[in-house]
């Protein structure tokens, strides 16, 4: 019995010494000292020994147990220490190695200019309104003074859906939705995607972006329109921009205008971009037609307003000298990541 105990002890000590992980060490402890362990098994057989033997072996077994526990404890500490001693090897990194570059994406050039415009208008006290891309005939045409069979509808052919709705041809529909919800005085813009049934070419696309703007209140006149436009252009182009208004027809404004800006390439002297006129067409606008206000139960004796529709694609094209509107929706990463 004594020999057996000694052999077991030697065997356990060797295993403890050669173990090189805490998991392994724990397993050794369980195998020898655990409830079903080898040393415990020996202690359990003591009952069949003579009283003298029992006393001697019992003592020896307990000492062995304590010794082994002590050794395991020490080894545990040694293993902990080794982890820190080896840190310099195991946690070594080469800070000069080239990194795996994370490719950071960027907002689409149209989105970027949209955010810029939103900031400019917010600073002037305008709110941002949203409207659906799938519209009904009433909001896209009728409430904008374009009744059924009106020839103005021909300028805005679009995609009609089986449910009788259509993909909105302009953001002007949001003017109506805004006036339905909010009583004047009100001022807001609405950026968004619009659609036309177009034969596409360098300056026509079936999907493009506009920002609609409107202001309705007491004594709103063309002067207010011109002022807001001037602030806008100064912020966008970072310089004073000369503007002029020409008459333009849109059923939902009266008077309606085309707003031109002084050509920024030649400063109005005349060049190929402005077709030697010194002016570039920027956006249509006007004073909101009384019929449009009346349809929203706005008292036209008391209130008037202006509206404008800014083409975002065109604005980005002017800013960066982009010559084909089809680039915006083509999804060519080489084009998109330039901005």
Name the burial class of residue 321, with classes exposed (0-12), middle (13-18) and buried (19+) by CB atoms within 10 angstroms of its CB: exposed
Residue 285, interface with ligand DAH (CB under 6 A)? yes
DSSP E strands in the chain: the ranges are 127-128, 134-135, 166-167, 186-195, 207-217, 243-247, 253-262, 279-288, 304-311
Residues in binding contact with ligand DAH, number by CB under 6 A: 11
d(CA 139, CA 145): 10
Q: Considering the complex, state which of residue 121 and residue 308 has its C-beta at the smaller distance from ligand DAH.
A: 308
**Alpha helices per DSSP H over 182-300:** 222-237, 290-295
Residues 237-276 within binding reach of ligand DAH (CB under 6 A): 250, 253
Stretch that binds ligand DAH, among 47-55, 65-73, 179-187, 306-314 (CB under 6 A): 306-314
In angstroms, how far is CA 171 from the centroid of its own chain?
A: 23
Crossing angle of the two packed helices 22-33 and 51-85, in degrees rounded to 10: 170
Residue 303, interface with ligand DAH (CB under 6 A)? no
Shortest Å, Cβ 289 to ligand DAH:
9
Residue 289, interface with ligand DAH (CB under 6 A)? no
Stretch that binds ligand DAH, among 66-74, 102-110, 229-237, 305-313 (CB under 6 A): 305-313
How many residues belong to the chain? 339
Binding string, residues 172-211; x marks residues near ligand DAH by CB under 6 A:
x---------------------------------------
Q: Considering the complex, state which of residue 184 and residue 286 has its C-beta at the smaller distance from ligand DAH.
A: 286
- Helix or strand or coil: residue 158? coil
CB within 8 A of 80, min separation 6: which ones? 22
Stretch that binds ligand DAH, among 11-19, 28-36, 85-93, 302-310 (CB under 6 A): 302-310
d(CA 190, CA 114): 10
Residue 307, interface with ligand DAH (CB under 6 A)? yes
What does the binding site for ligand DAH look like in residue numbers (CB under 6 A)?
A: 170, 172, 212, 250, 253, 284-286, 307-309
């Amino acid at each position: 019995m004594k020999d057996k105990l000694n052999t077991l002890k030697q065997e356990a000590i060797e295993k403890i010494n050669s173990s090189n992980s805490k998991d392994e060490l724990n397993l050794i402890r369980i195998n020898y000292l655990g409830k079903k362990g080898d040393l415990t098994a020996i202690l359990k057989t003591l009952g069949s020994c003579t009283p003298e033997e029992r006393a001697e072996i019992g003592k020896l077994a307990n000492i062995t147990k304590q010794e082994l526990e002590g050794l395991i404890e020490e080894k545990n500490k040694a293993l902990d220490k080794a982890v820190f001693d080896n840190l310099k090897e195991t946690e070594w990194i080469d800070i000069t190695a080239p990194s795996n570059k994370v490719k950071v994406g960027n907002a689409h050039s149209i989105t970027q200019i949209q955010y810029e415009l939103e900031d400019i208008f917010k600073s002037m006290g305008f709110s941002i309104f949203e409207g659906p891309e799938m519209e009904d005939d009433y909001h896209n045409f009728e409430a904008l003074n374009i009744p059924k069979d009106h020839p103005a509808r021909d300028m805005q052919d679009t995609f009609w859906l089986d449910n009788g709705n259509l993909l909105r041809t302009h953001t002007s529909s949001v003017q109506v939705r805004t006036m339905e919800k909010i009583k004047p005085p009100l001022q807001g813009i609405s950026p968004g995607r619009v659609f036309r049934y177009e034969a596409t070419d360098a300056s026509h696309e079936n999907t493009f972006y506009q920002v609609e703007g409107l202001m309705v209140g007491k004594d709103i006149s063309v002067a207010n329109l011109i002022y807001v436009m001037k602030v806008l252009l100064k912020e966008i182009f970072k310089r004073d921009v000369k503007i002029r208004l020409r008459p333009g027809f849109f059923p939902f404004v009266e008077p309606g205008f085309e707003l031109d800006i002084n050509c920024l390439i030649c400063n109005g002297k005349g060049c190929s971009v402005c077709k030697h006129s010194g002016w570039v067409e920027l956006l249509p606008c006007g004073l909101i037609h009384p019929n449009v206000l009346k349809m929203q139960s706005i008292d036209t004796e008391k209130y008037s307003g202006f509206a404008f529709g800014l083409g975002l694609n065109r604005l980005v094209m002017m800013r960066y000298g982009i010559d084909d509107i089809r680039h915006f929706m083509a999804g060519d990463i080489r084009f998109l990541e330039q901005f």
